[in-house]
Chains A and B, each alone.
Chain A
């Protein structure tokens, strides 16, 4: 048998295309695969002309296929629509309806890209997979663990979305772009004449056109025949004063300022949403500050964990665009639950988002904000 091929998850974008081409240039056998995750013919009311964030469009498959042809690798489209809907889209909608702010990309990484895709890679005889993520993996002989590290290009680092990766997954994954910055990747793509070298970066949540998640949810629920209970309700202050009404709690996310539809003297922000009472509570910027949080379903990566009552110093990111804040991680009696205490209170700690723990470049682990 020849050397086992590496399965490259090809989205049709410049990053994953460059990964495939780099590996081919190194003389590694490569098989390219594009995951078909969402049928764009669904929810036709969202099909606005010029919409961005069209995942799995025919154009993307066309681009990926063209690159595969260019670099001379076998290429296949694999269909995971069913799993994607079950593990990513449905939880995304359910979380919003429950008043939380989900991150579908993390769910997709945990359940689709590094699970179903890896299994498919294995099935076709590829033990390793490579993706265009900006992150680094290294094996630490001292601890015997695969460690996840931030990408060299800080502006592109995607480790926040990768906190759910298990040791088994990391052992079989390659992130060749982790050592490069984005301009270098583009330059590399140009130097190899890749057809997608000048293609724009993908934005936002891939299956939600134009980032309008509320419109997506309305269309999805309508298609499913789910009659959403009327989620309109009151906009209130923390002191309980009613300021007005809103059209549904899923239109709001903690920390949001714009679109409250009320005019007052001082700027107001969403500080909480409660689907049970359908109340959206607003307040001043200071009301958004939290001294800490609890994270659940914690996955440990670079360290094995924190014992109950023990503590570990760390920097914690509470959303993707957040400068990691100095904090202490405290172990609880539940090994999957961690208390995070910030050195200075942080703004807009949002239930449903990830809390990712860093030690400098190293990703220690992460969990979901309660």
Chain B
């Protein structure tokens, strides 16, 4: 059976161009980037070229890019490093209820360390209100952390406006940009943010590599100790092949952004419109506007999302009920709960996230499979 992939927000396949870079680097550029000799220098060159590539995609200076093991580490470094390094006696952090656990968990850890944490609610559109941020600001607020695009809904947050509020209040602004990079243009200077987290594997690069943009002058307390790598901000021998691949993927994403964006918007809307037209008791979770082009989160009243993921997988379509990280979890998605869905509707929701591998025929086949699965599941639940 053929399997089609509609879960690009969980991870993406490595792009063929990126794979070439990765394999070449694994085979040939095996030196330690800290070594003095020829091999070390080659690795260092690769590393710095990749840094320029990633920096270019977000309009940063290369020296402001810190490579990490992925988005989670970048978020931890930004939040823990920033707040622990702040000098104030009393510290306050603002974040919001639809953040990824890679932001919420370090924030919770700070809470346990005595930092006050405000977790803002969002409206049913899945977008944080800058006014709410303004009201939550205090003199002791040291960090505001708001994601750029939500992983489950795809909704884009007004981070530029929020960054301005943070700056006026004397706080640093961190943005989890893992789900935005490569999907929408990112310009850290125009956004006016201090810290911006990104991940390679959401961008057709391999897993295990990410980066944190840390604006020049931002002081971070290290969260791990070892060597002087990454300008003393992140110790450990650099994952040169992964980083080189990330660089290649960043360059590719920049070159393809407009084209990918237009095509994915068309495919996503085609899927959504077909499904909404055909199946009653169905709707979009969160705003249909202000979304990244590839993401659609839909509810199908009366069905069990967990069963539908399995049913669709057995028909050859890979989708998810929400974040891959919460699969198999007992409670419904915290994001869907945060935008006001009942437990029942949250459990009846599915995320479709499209990518470069999908075409019109696949999308139409998925729409047919969704119609058939929903009809079957609803028939069963009537009998049950």
User: Which residues of the partner chain B approach A36 to less than 8 Å between Cβ atoms?
Assistant: 328
Cβ–Cβ contact A74 & B313, under 8 A: yes
Stretch of B18-26, B38-46, B304-312 with 4 or more beta carbons under 8 angstroms from chain A: B304-312
Q: What is the size category of the interface that chain B forms with chain A?
A: 10 to 19
When distances are taken between beta carbons in the complex, the residues of chain B under 8 Å from A122 are 380
CB distance from B20 to the nearest CB of A (A): 30
Contact among B311, B328, B330, B384 with A124 in the assembled complex (CB-CB below 8 Å): B311
> Which one, B310, B376, B384, contacts A76 given CB within 8 A?
B310
Q: A79-B328, A125-B376 are in contact. Are A120 and B307 (CB under 8 A)?
A: yes
Residues of B within 8 A of A60 (CB): none
Is the beta-carbon distance between A79 and B329 smaller than 8 angstroms? yes
Tally of chain A residues near chain B (CB < 8 A): 18
Task: Tell whether A264 is near chain B: CB-to-CB under 8 Å.
Answer: no
Give B360-384 interface residues, CB cut-off 8 Å to A: 376-377, 380, 384
Contacting pair B307 A81 (CB below 8 A): no
Interchain nearest-CB distance for A45 vs B (Å) = 21
Q: How many whole Å from B316's CB to the nearest CB in chain A?
A: 10
**Does B314 touch A at the CB level, under 8 Å?**
yes
Residue A5 at the B interface, CB < 8 A?
Answer: yes
- Whether B330 lies near A119 (C-beta < 8 A) is no
Beta-carbon nearest neighbor of B384 in chain A: A119
A35 and B330 alpha carbons, distance in the complex (Å) = 12
In the complex formed, the residue of A with least CB distance to B304 is A123
User: Could you tell me if A5 and B314 are in contact, using CB atoms closer than 8 angstroms?
Assistant: yes
Alpha-carbon distance A78/B384, docked complex (angstroms): 18
CB distance from A81 to the nearest CB of B (A): 5
Within 8 A of B (CB), among A57-103: 74, 76-79, 81-82
Option from A39, A82, A119, A124 in Cβ contact (under 8 Å) with B310: A124
Q: Within 8 Å CB of A77, what residues of B?
A: 328
Contact with B along A120-158 (1 / 0, CB 8 A): 101111000000000000000000000000000000000
Please determine whether B330 and A79 come into contact, CB atoms closer than 8 angstroms.
yes
The answer to whether B329 touches A124, judged by C-beta atoms less than 8 angstroms apart, is no
Residues of A within 8 A of B310 (CB): 31, 33, 76, 78, 120, 123-124
Please measure, in the bound complex, the distance between the C-alpha atom of A77 and the C-alpha atom of B328, giving whole angstroms: 7
Type the 1/0 row for B286-313, where 1 means its CB is closer than 8 Å to any CB of A.
Answer: 0000000000000000001011101101
In the assembled complex, which residues on chain A have CB atoms less than 8 Å from the CB atom of B308? 123
Chain A's nearest CB lies how many Å from the CB of B28?
34
CA distance A36 to B328 in the complex (A): 9
Closest A residue to B312 using CB positions: A124
A8–B311 alpha-carbon span in the complex (Å): 15
Across-interface contacts of A81 in B (CB, < 8 A): 330
Query: In the complex, A120 Cα to B311 Cα: how many Å?
Result: 10
A residues 29-58 near B (Cβ < 8 Å) are 31, 33, 36, 39
CA distance A76 to B307 in the complex (A): 10
Q: Contact string, B327-347, partner A, CB cutoff 8 A, digits 1/0?
A: 011100000000000000000
CA distance A33 to B328 in the complex (A): 12
Contact of A123 among B307, B328, B329, B330 (CB under 8 A): B307
Give Cα distance in the complex from A292 to B127, angstroms: 68
Please name all residues of chain B whose beta carbon is closer than 8 Å to the beta carbon of A123 when the two chains form the complex.
Answer: 304, 307-308, 310-311, 376-377, 380
Give the complex CA separation of A240 and B231 in angstroms.
Answer: 83
In-complex Cβ contact of A31 among B314, B377, B380 (8 A): B314
Write the chain B residue with the least CB distance to A118.
B384
The residue that B306 contacts in the complex, of A39, A74, A79, A125, with Cβ under 8 A, is: A79
Set of chain B residues within 8 Å of A79, measured between Cβ atoms: 306, 328-330
Shortest Cβ distance from residue A72 to the other chain B in the assembled complex, whole angstroms:
12
Bound Cα distance A195, B328 (Å): 24
Which of the listed residues B314, B330, B377 has the most CB atoms from chain A within 10 Å of its own CB?
Answer: B314
The reply to whether B330 and A82 form a contact with Cβ atoms under 8 Å apart is yes
B327–chain A nearest beta-carbon distance, Å: 9
A1-38 near B? 1/0 per residue, CB < 8 Å: 00001000000000000000000000000010100100
Contact B380 A119 (CB under 8 A): yes
Determine the chain A residues whose CB is within 8 A of the CB of B329 once the complex forms. 79
CB distance from B197 to the nearest CB of A (A): 29
Within the assembled complex, what's the spacing in Å between the Cα atoms of A96 and B42?
71
B313 CB to nearest A CB, Å: 7
Q: Is the CB of A78 within 8 A of B306?
A: yes
B238 to chain A minimum Cβ distance, whole angstroms, is 33
Q: Which A residues touch B315, using CB under 8 A?
A: 125
Asked if B330 and A125 make an inter-chain contact with CB atoms under 8 angstroms apart, the answer reads: no
Pairs A–B under 8 Å by Cβ, sample size 11: A39-B330, A74-B313, A79-B306, A79-B328, A119-B384, A120-B310, A123-B307, A123-B311, A123-B376, A124-B307, A125-B314
Given contacts A36-B328, A123-B308, A123-B310, 7 further A-B contacts (CB under 8 A): A81-B330, A119-B380, A119-B384, A120-B304, A123-B376, A124-B310, A125-B311
* Closest 6 A/B residue pairs (Cβ): A123-B307, A124-B310, A124-B311, A76-B310, A122-B380, A81-B330
